[in-house]
Amino acid sequence: MRKPFFFLAIAVWALGVFVSCKEEDDTYDAYANWPARNAEYFAQIAAEARDSIAKAKQEHGGQWEAHCNWRMFKSTTKAQNVGGALTDSICVYIEQRGGGTESPAWSDTVRVNYRGYLMPTQNLVNGEWREERTVFSQSFIGELDSQIAVPAKMGVSTTVAGFATALQYMHEGDVWWVYIPSELAYGSQASGMIRSYSTLTFYVNLVDFYDIGQMVPEWE
């Protein structure tokens, strides 16, 4: 399983971490300057996505999508025909392309395998700095095995704007890494293990979907 660009955590973590160190025990607050570090983390992900897309377009023109795994999608809750802020969009890294040809609509119900992470942090363990990623929600344990995983069922419209946007561009069988700025997630509000101003990362596999007018599938 590819986990792209976790190395960005080191640079982002450095922003403000040392100011919270305690000289007497070498511990620190992993959440120091959390809003600024999360904003910088998303900005770096977006820069990587933009650069990769631009390079693919330059080299392959109209066929660029077949040669680039990065995508940036403006939130479906935002006007599509006007400019906007960077945080009006999500970034997506396509790990696996499925065989489906259609995408869920806002009113559809989906079944997905997913895991949600906060941005990477660093922690001092036995004298060594180690990367840590807090999982705040998941539908499967360990590596994803689609043969035994039990997908979660949810309405597209019931999810945060960034996640709903990703779902509306996915096809059945797709496996994506989805990077969502806090503005398209929970913003200034906290939710369970998710702190306010958190950039969220989802590893998500779209299994299938149906609309409200369809007969309830067998797995219902």
Distance CA 215, CA 202 (A): 29
* Residue 40 pLDDT: 97
Distance CA 132, CA 20 (A): 18
Tell me the pTM. Answer: 0.86
Distance CA 146, CA 149 (A): 5
Residues 6+ apart with CB under 8 A from 112: 139, 151, 152, 154, 167, 204, 205, 206, 207
* Residue 112 pLDDT: 98
Distance CA 4, CA 48 (A): 11
Walk me through the domains of the chain, giving residue ranges and CATH numbers. Answer: 8-210 (3.10.50.40)
Q: Which residues pair with 154 in a beta bridge?
A: 110
* Residue 29 pLDDT: 82
pLDDT tens, the chain, 220 aa long: 445 554 444 444 444 444 444 444 456 788 999 999 999 999 999 999 999 999 999 999 999 999 999 999 999 999 998 889 999 999 999 999 999 999 999 999 999 999 999 999 977 667 677 788 899 999 999 999 989 999 999 999 999 999 999 999 999 999 999 999 999 999 999 999 999 999 999 999 999 999 876 655 555 5
